[in-house]
Structure 1
Amino acid sequence: MKPVQRYQALRKASLKGLQAFEAAYMHRSFAAAAQELSITASAVSHAIQTLEEALGVLLFERARRGVVPTDEGARLYEVIRRSFGDIDEELRTILDRSSRQQVVTIQSAPSFAAIWIMPRLPAFLRAHPDLDVRLWAVHQAPDFSNSGVDVAVVYGKPPASAGVHVEPISRRERYLPVCSPKLVDGWTLPLPPSDIENFYLIQNDVSLTSWDEWIGRFAPACNSPVRGLRLDRAFMTLSAAENELGMCIESTVLVHDYLRQGRLVCPFGELAIEAAAHHLAVPKSREGLQAVRTVTDWIRSFADFDAV
């Protein structure tokens, strides 16, 4: 057989034809092979006939109650059995590897990454030495289709998508004023809202709320609040407040540890604005991966935010 003819013959030996041959060999019946492959018996017969024509040999002797493999058919079956076995083993290896994904890419709003993830990351990695975490601290919405991001903590609710599971980080996230305890040393807390005029106000320019909103709701008679720093990251406004540069208004998700550790206090008590600002987003196609589940469970377990 010339090389061109051999090539053309091999091209006709399709995967479907080989599958039909394997099933017919094992069952010794075209009808039983058809049932296994969910096709018709004539389709099995046609596939095998095409394969026989391509190879130039008979693979089965047709009998009244089934088919009997020829010597050529028996040799071909041994090759196919080994080959299909190798393919099956490799597919299982790939599937097992993907289901035990060990690299997880987290995209997080910068302040959440700085305040929550980074301080807890060393202990998490020690507890999961086989897990490789990649952390991207960016503000833009995650692109799960092209960027390789597996888990995202988003500031502001991400656009609705049928393929992405979204849940709030806290069911009762609120924005409330906080400051250094030294800033109100000697004052009786909680302060009346009108005392806001006695303090510098630090503003986060990318926040979902503002001092104007809080003042309009709780201290409408305040006509000239004293403005202070204007920053564009919550972790910077909280640092400024901790260093006694004024009061800031931030999310209970972000101020949780500061309050628990006594680094900041709530000078006006529980006068807060409710706003679901931080969300956990995970592609539904990756929720079942063990490594992704480990990371999302870790993020969910950070703290009881409602305790603030």
Structure 2
Amino acid sequence: MARLEDALDFKLFERTKLGLTLTDRGATLQRAVASGFGQIGDTIDQLKRDHARGEIVTLSLASGFAALWLLPRYADFRKRFPSINLRLQVMPGRLYGPLEDAELGIRLHGPGSESDPSCLCPEIIVPVCSPNYLAESGPLDAPKSHEGHAYIHLDVTTHSWADFHRATGRSDQGIGEAVHHTDPGLAVQCAMLGQGVVLGWLLAIAAPLNEGKVIPAWDRYIETGCHYVLEYRSSNPSDGTRHVARWLIEQLGEEVERARRLLAPMKAVSRGRIGQSAHKTDARDCPMH
């Protein structure tokens, strides 16, 4: 203590007959030291709480994919990665643009992106409906009723029913009842309930297709040549982020492969039929939802 007082060049204690008592300066220093140790303790407690909660990984994705594929598999994800908290950042519309504060994001890339190791799924657009609806109403090109089909429309989309009809060479005349939705996941769920035919993006409808909840309403689908790719915000992602990415690539890859086998007997119509250049590589030139 004497050496500390020598270094500070002032007294910390008064030596009295009753023992040592703090000087005014000593008391001031004691309060500062106590406060510092308190802050250190609070910080350690916070770090312990953060560690117990686990790492938070934010994933930027489309609502349809979140509702129809990811959320039904979240319990399995939690069992495999109990220390990772997945935070979903749902995009209302087009899957392009910066990730901002998300560690991972699904984005649409142009032709040639299928070679990316983080490629998840080709952009394939399939008219789908429930099995009961198809049995009662017939296929898209041969409705059983003269009133035609009930078309479920997405009001926020870059590939409409009119685009689909132009690409496949069908007339859009004779379209029956029209139902409009702004959320892709809700639109597909309405089709699953037998309320009509909807254009489904393979990224979102792979699971319902494999489970038989929806089936193709015709033997044609659109293949745009674009692909959905999993992007990283950082060039040096955390271990938790890598775990999430690896899980998504593996699990979705198996799902998409099964769905593509179901589509194999159908005829693919290329993006070029839509009247857009097949050589552009900007994702914003691809039809998206």
**TM above 0.5, one fold?**
yes
C-alpha contact (below 8 Å) 1:175/1:272 kept by paired residues: yes
C-alpha contact (below 8 Å) 2:126/2:199 kept by paired residues: yes
C-alpha contact (below 8 Å) 2:106/2:230 kept by paired residues: yes
- Is 1:193 matched up with 2:151? no
- Is 1:279 matched up with 2:232? no
Q: Distance in 1 between matches of 2:135 and 2:99?
A: 48
Q: Distance in 2 between matches of 1:175 and 1:110?
A: 16
Structure 2 residues not aligned, in runs of 5+: 1-6, 8-53, 111-115, 260-289
Change in 2 beyond 3 A, CA 1:239/1:220: same
When Rg is computed on C-alpha atoms for both structures, the one with the higher figure is: 1
Q: Which residue number in structure 2 is paired with residue 180 of structure 1?
A: 130
Q: What SS does structure 1 have at the residue aligned with 2:92? A: coil
What is the identity, as a one-letter code, of the residue corresponding to 2:132? K
Q: Distance in 2 between matches of 1:194 and 1:217?
A: 18
C-alpha contact (below 8 Å) 2:137/2:143 kept by paired residues: no
Change in 2 beyond 3 A, CA 1:233/1:290: same
- Is 1:299 matched up with 2:252? no
Q: Distance in 2 between matches of 1:265 and 1:216?
A: 22
Q: Which residue number in structure 1 is paired with residue 160 of structure 2?
A: 210
Q: Distance in 2 between matches of 1:173 and 1:306?
A: 13
Change in 2 beyond 3 A, CA 1:277/1:235: farther
Q: State the TM-score, normalizing by the size of structure 2.
A: 0.59
Number of residue pairs aligned between Structure 1 and Structure 2: 198
Q: State the TM-score, normalizing by the size of structure 1.
A: 0.56
What is the identity, as a one-letter code, of the residue corresponding to 1:307? R
TM-aligned CA deviation for residue 226 of structure 1:
2.0
Q: Distance in 2 between matches of 1:230 and 1:157?
A: 27
- Is 1:241 matched up with 2:191? yes
Aligned counterparts, 1:1-308, within 5 A: 102-139=55-92, 143-144=98-99, 147=101, 149-154=102-107, 156-157=108-109, 167-170=118-121, 172-185=122-135, 191=139, 193=141, 195=143, 198-269=148-219, 271-275=220-224, 276=226, 278-287=228-237, 289-303=238-252, 304=254, 305-308=256-259
TM-aligned CA deviation for residue 178 of structure 1:
0.3
Q: Distance in 1 between matches of 2:151 and 2:203?
A: 20
Change in 2 beyond 3 A, CA 1:222/1:113: closer
Q: Larger RCO: Structure 1 or Structure 2 (Cα < 8 Å, ≥ 6 residues apart)?
A: 2
What is the identity, as a one-letter code, of the residue corresponding to 1:110? S
Q: Distance in 2 between matches of 1:119 and 1:262?
A: 15
C-alpha contact (below 8 Å) 1:108/1:153 kept by paired residues: yes
Q: What SS does structure 1 have at the residue aligned with 2:229? A: strand
TM-aligned CA deviation for residue 231 of structure 1:
0.9
Q: Distance in 2 between matches of 1:205 and 1:167?
A: 30
What is the identity, as a one-letter code, of the residue corresponding to 2:258? A
Q: What SS does structure 2 have at the residue aligned with 1:111? A: helix
Q: What SS does structure 1 have at the residue aligned with 2:87? A: strand
Q: Distance in 1 between matches of 2:97 and 2:164?
A: 30
Q: What SS does structure 1 have at the residue aligned with 2:86? A: strand
TM-aligned CA deviation for residue 104 of structure 1:
1.3
Q: State the identity %.
A: 18
What is the identity, as a one-letter code, of the residue corresponding to 1:301? E
Change in 2 beyond 3 A, CA 1:285/1:217: closer
Cα-to-partner distance string for 1:152-205 (whole Å, 9 max, x where unaligned) = 123x449xxxxxx995421x33101100111122577xx363549721110112
Alpha carbon RMSD of aligned pairs, Å? Answer: 3.2
What is the identity, as a one-letter code, of the residue corresponding to 2:153? Q
Q: What SS does structure 2 have at the residue aligned with 1:185? A: helix
Q: What SS does structure 1 have at the residue aligned with 2:205? A: helix
C-alpha contact (below 8 Å) 1:259/1:265 kept by paired residues: yes
Change in 2 beyond 3 A, CA 1:102/1:231: same
Structure number with higher strand proportion: 2
Q: What SS does structure 1 have at the residue aligned with 2:79? A: helix
C-alpha contact (below 8 Å) 1:173/1:306 kept by paired residues: no
